[in-house]
Amino acid sequence: MIGPASWSAVLVVCTVLAAPQGGAREIPSGDAASPASRWRSDLLAQAAAPGAEDAASKPRSRPSKRRAKKKPIVTISGSADFQFIYDDNILRMSDDTIDRFVGGIEPERYKIETYDDLILSPRLSCTAGRPLLGKKPTTLRFGYIRWEYARNPIKNNEAYSVRLRQPFFAQDFLEASYTYAPPSYIRHYSSRPPFVSRTVPMEPTPFKLTRNAFLLGYSHRLTKKINVRVDGGRTLRYYNRPFMDSDNAEWGAAGIGSVTVSKSFKLDGKYAYSVVDARGYDQVGETKADSDNGDGSYERDLYEMTVGYKPSGRFKFIASCEIMGQHQIYYYTGDKTPWEDALHTGRKDKVYATEITAGTKPVYGPMSLVAGWRYSRRTTSLPASVVAEDAEEKAYKDNRVWVGATYPF
């Protein structure tokens, strides 16, 4: 027979087994609860999962709402570049002039240590963008570039630029830019100050140039594979006082076409035409017609073709490489006779240039590498009645090789 105590134990076990999983069944509380009920409640509380009391006593945390990130009012981007450039003819001298320099003939004409040099060129650009007209951002870019010559600091120079670009529908955009280059040394030329008698011998004098360039351009996408661009601009060149007769103003226009042939090849073509009007006098009361100075006015045609290639396979680390060919023709348009202006009248210059460049994909973080080579050559022809040595003096050949790194931010 089972005694009363045994029945009580069985009742407790059955009650525990009948309790729902994950917690104890509620037991009435208050004055109506019997001692046996309170005892069973304590047993059930001990049988509950550990930590249940702590979890029940803590308030439930509400899920946090993610706030949408606000887009910055102005976006900032840019890049820092540095290039090492070797130039084997920094003054664009003819072969005969280089021979005279090396031989120590007329050393007063040359204020350089070597006719070639290593150039250190830091470059910085920063672009700020904000949507002003439509959804696409209007951008304003500032640029700075400097050329620091290792052995010929007299040739150091720099340039500042600012560009405003406004995108339109599709991939069209309109942009305006301004570039300022402070006075920079070109080379020494023979000159005499204004108002000085012609009987006074000319002396070698530094020839320096200040440049202001204004450009307006519009780019339009004709199809998915064809883009065209039209540029027009004004360039003002000012020389130091002894050579102020060489000051000139240029009007120029250019057309550029770009065709994507395939995923790997791209073709660019460019034609530019310029009209340059030189001052041609350096004294009060003079005009270009009655001045004893030369007239450096000219017209220029420029033809350029570029082939771009994106390698694949084992060379896919190269982002792109380009081969460019350029041909320029200068026609000097002065009205003076060859005897009055031997260096300009009837003169025709031809400048040829070939350039090969390559850039890599990022090699360390966002940093990429660039390398290039450029060869340029100028030939000059003058009327037969003028001494041929003057034409040879203006001819030159030049090679430039460079490597560098670009770090965008």
pLDDT in tens, 353-384: 999 999 999 999 999 999 999 999 999 998 86
What is the CA angle 56-59-61, rounded to 5? 125
pLDDT above 70 as % of the chain = 79
Q: Residue 234: which of 219, 249, 223, 248 has the closest Cα?
A: 249
Give tens-digit pLDDT for 339-353: 888 888 899 999 999
Q: What is the pLDDT of residue 8?
A: 47
Who wins on pLDDT, 158 or 63? 158
CB 121 within 8 A of CB 85: yes
Segment 115-141 mean pLDDT: 95
- Give the best-scoring range by mean pLDDT among 186-190, 238-242, 369-373, 384-388: 369-373
pLDDT of 197 higher than 90:
no
Give tens-digit pLDDT for 79-90: 999 999 999 999
| Topology of domain 75-192+201-283+291-408, CATH | Porin (2.40.160)
- pLDDT interval class at 12 (50, 70, 90): very low
Residue 16 region by backbone torsions, left for phi larger than 0, else alpha for psi between -120 and 50, else beta: alpha
Could you give the CA distance from residue 377 to residue 85 in angstroms, rounded to a whole number? 18
- pLDDT interval class at 3 (50, 70, 90): low
Q: What is the pLDDT of residue 272?
A: 98
- pLDDT interval class at 108 (50, 70, 90): confident
CB 87 within 8 A of CB 115: no
Cβ burial of 69 (10 Å; 0-12, 13-18, 19+) is exposed
Q: What is the pLDDT of residue 382?
A: 85
- pLDDT interval class at 107 (50, 70, 90): confident
Segment 93-121 mean pLDDT: 93
Who wins on pLDDT, 55 or 78? 78
pLDDT of 189 higher than 60:
yes
Q: What is the pLDDT of residue 10?
A: 41
Kindly report the average pLDDT of the chain as a whole number: 85
- Residue written as token pair 């041929």: 388
Number of helical H runs and strand E runs in the chain: 5, 14
Where is average pLDDT lowest: 42-46, 246-250, 253-257? 42-46
Q: Residue 369: which of 336, 406, 322, 408 has the closest Cα?
A: 406
Sorted by where each begins, the domain ranges of the chain are 75-192+201-283+291-408
